[in-house]
Amino acid sequence: EAQVTQNPRYLITVTGKKLTVTCSQNMNHEYMSWYRQDPGLGLRQIYYSMNVEVTDKGDVPEGYKVSRKEKRNFPLILESPSPNQTSLYFCASSVSTGEQYFGPGTRLTVT
Amino acid sequence: GIQVEQSPPDLILQEGANSTLRCNFSDSVNNLQWFHQNPWGQLINLFYIPSGTKQNGRLSATTVATERYSLLYISSSQTTDSGVYFCAVLAHRNTGGFKTIFGAGTRLFVKA
């Protein structure tokens, strides 16, 4: 089954404790990106990757890092999480400008 | 940048009723999608429809790209249709990448 998977689905952590949210797709898509969804602000792009080893900042990259060492994986790293990073996070993939497929989401709470 | 506007913002239906959701966009696009965000937060792909008409069961969508709007039709609504419906278009970045721009959504509640 073609899909985008994210782990963990739910996470509660404390300020400053490094964490990684994994994202993996099995559709051989070149393009992957991360979004966060916040009430009243909608979905905003954090980072994107056009292919292996090619990443760039989205609209709200501060406090996040990404890497794209393999085509299927695009992890999101929070080196020192803060409460304002509490949000619902989505990973997405696509073939270039084609249909976007979204993962199931990761609910992150930083206390 | 491209603006995406959805209407109505909120909609309450009796089970079995039909509805039409509208999405207007401010510039020409070559990529438009409709999503359903269910009460658990998952974004479900409904249609990839840059132009034309598509149908999937009780749902159908039409995009008139030249007039910059898209419509999502829900017929014989069910309680499981409740959630938020998003229209989204692609916007290119100067750096060569792109991002998906979402409308604010239509929040639908279907009463039993």
Closest by CA position to A26, among listed A77, A105, A88, A93 = A93
Query: Residue B97: pLDDT above 80?
Result: no
Query: Residue A97: pLDDT above 90?
Result: no
Please give, rounded to a whole number of angstroms, the shortest distance from the CA of A17 to a CA of chain B.
Answer: 25
Q: In this predicted structure, what is the pLDDT of residue B18?
A: 98
Q: Are A89 and A106 in contact (CB under 8 A)?
A: yes
pLDDT tens figures, B42-94: 999 999 999 999 999 999 999 999 999 999 999 999 999 999 999 999 888 77
Cα B60 from Cα A25, distance rounded (Å): 27
Q: What are phi and psi of B68, to 5 degrees?
A: 60, 50
Please give, rounded to a whole number of angstroms, the shortest distance from the CA of A104 to a CA of chain B.
Answer: 5
Query: Residue B2: pLDDT above 90?
Result: no
Cis-peptide into B8, omega within 30 deg: yes
Spell out the residues 6+ positions from residue B89 whose beta carbon is closer than 8 angstroms to its own: B2, B4, B25, B29, B31, B32, B33, B100, B101
- Grade residue B99 by pLDDT with cuts at 50, 70 and 90: confident
- Grade residue A52 by pLDDT with cuts at 50, 70 and 90: very high
Tokens of A6: 């994210």
pLDDT tens figures, B20-47: 999 999 988 878 999 999 988 999 999 9
Compare all CA atoms of chain A with the CA of B47 and give the residue at the minimum distance.
A99
Cα B30 from Cα B49, distance rounded (Å): 9
Closest by CA position to B107, among listed B87, B83, B73 = B83
